[in-house]
Amino acid sequence: MGKVKGVSALLLIIAMLTLPAVSSSENPVLWKGSVCSDVQYQKSIEAVAIANTTVYAACSYRQVANSSGLIGVYYLGTLYAYSLNGSKLWENASGYVVKLHPIDGGVLAGSLGGLILFDNSSRILSVANTMGKLYDFTVKDGVIYAAGGDYFISGPNSSVTYRGSLYAVNLGKNLTFIWNVSVDDMLSRVRVGKGVIYASSGFPSGYSFSHQFGSLYAFSLDGRPLWNITLGHWVRDMEVWNGSALLGTGFDNSRGEIYLVSPNGEVLMKGSAFYVEDILVVGDTAYVSGYNGQNGSVMSLKLPSGQVIWEQELPYRAKVMAYSDGLLLVGVGKFEQKTENGTTYIYSVGSLYALDPESGEVVGSVSNTGYVRSIAVLGDRAVVGTASSEFYVIDVSALKGKNGTCGPAGIVLLAVLFGLLIKRL
């Protein structure tokens, strides 16, 4: 009987040694907010931001109207502001917001219709309308550089044409255009390098289409075209490293390429990748997230060589990333649908993962958030927007050190117990 008990205890210890790490840390979710809860359309929080005293979350949706046989699509949305402890401060109509940028005394919103400047009391100080849809903007030395465009289908063969624009706008209490330039392409990303503005074309992350195209354009700071490179596939995201453009493409919903292009148009590096969704540059390291056709993928690259340091698979699609408090935050997810009583409902599933940026190891997570579409960080705080009405404010430091009872100290303890048990047997 004693041997039976001893064997049972031995099996229990072996089972404990083989269990995955169990978290013993505090709950990283500080609070959860809900926006546009009364809107019946499918909603998504495509943009969030956090400043010293304020959290911003933009709820966006498409309203489809059928009038006299004509179908109209309206891109609508509302911007919400909260205190850091979760108290709602204000809300105001904003249109379909794709990006937010906090400024002194307020926040700059890029909606599909243009730029909107809000103050801290929700007042709209200024609006700069753009031609076509605005997809991206960046701020440099008091100037906003914005990129956008659209596509048009016409003729019996449904031929497609593209038109895009790049804008320079003075950032002040009044948003005033400095210059704009147009190209026969749909611009979707814009960044500023060393004395050069990079603008790329293609359907950006979050959008899809059946036609493939994509190029990288360079402009001087006063809007003069300098050069362009045809890539052939959508540029899904772009960042800048050491003055050069680092961009990732996507095609076939499973493959893509990474390019590093110098300010004079020289391709410094080109490598194969999965379908790119997001790029993040930290020092001389680039993190790239996306979809490999079956799962989400994240990889770390050494710049400028493009050498892969590590690659990690995650569930669903690795949509968006952020770096905070020594951790790489990765939001994943996908859309699902279900039919009840003849009505089809679309919903999202997903989670937030925290990765060790040096090894790619998953060190923590916030599960079942829904499809993560946007992340903004400030210090050890992160705001996470999802493809629903809900967003989360996270304490990033609480995602660290999730070793629990099966960490190194726990393994040592179990080894000692194992030794004592062997002696008794």
pLDDT in tens, 358-394: 999 999 999 999 999 999 999 999 999 999 999 999 9
Question: pLDDT at position 353, please?
Answer: 98
Distances (CA, A) of 33 to 1, 179, 399: 57, 39, 20
Nearest 10 degrees: CA dihedral of 229, 235, 239, 240?
-10
Q: What pLDDT score was predicted for residue 210? A: 79
Percent of the chain's residues with pLDDT above 90:
74
Rounded to two decimals, what is the model's pTM?
A: 0.86
Nearest to 316 by CA among 336, 346, 338: 336
Mean pLDDT for 265-272 is: 97
Say how far apart CA 13 and CA 374 lie, in whole Å: 42
Omega before residue 304 within 30° of 0, cis: yes
Q: What are the CA-CA distances from residue 286 to residues 167, 205, 244 (Å)?
A: 27, 17, 13
SS3 label, residue 422: helix
Task: Categorize the per-residue pLDDT at 69 as very low, low, confident or very high, splitting at 50, 70 and 90.
Answer: low
Q: DSSP secondary-structure letter at 8?
A: H
Q: What is the pLDDT of residues 155-191, one digit of tens each?
A: 788 788 999 999 999 999 899 999 999 999 999 999 9
Q: How confident is the model at residue 141 (pLDDT cuts 50, 70, 90)?
A: very high
Q: What is the DSSP letter of 339?
A: E
Name the more confident of 413 and 206. Answer: 206
Do the bridges between strand 176-183 and strand 97-103 make them parallel or antiparallel, or are there none, so unpaired?
A: unpaired
Residues 6 or more apart whose CB falls under 8 angstroms from that of 141 comprise: none
Instruction: Please report the pLDDT score of residue 287 as a whole number.
Output: 98
Question: Does the pLDDT at position 421 exceed 50?
Answer: no
What is d(CA 302, CA 307) in angstroms, rounded to the nearest whole number?
Answer: 5
pLDDT at 6 over 60: no
Residue 306 pLDDT: 97
Q: Which residues pair with 288 in a beta bridge?
A: 279, 299
* Beta-carbon-side half-sphere exposure of residue 38 (alpha carbons within 13 Å): 1
Residue 293's region, left for phi above 0, alpha for psi from -120 to 50, else beta, is left
| Interval 199-243: pLDDT, tens | 999 987 767 777 899 999 999 999 999 999 999 999 999 999 999
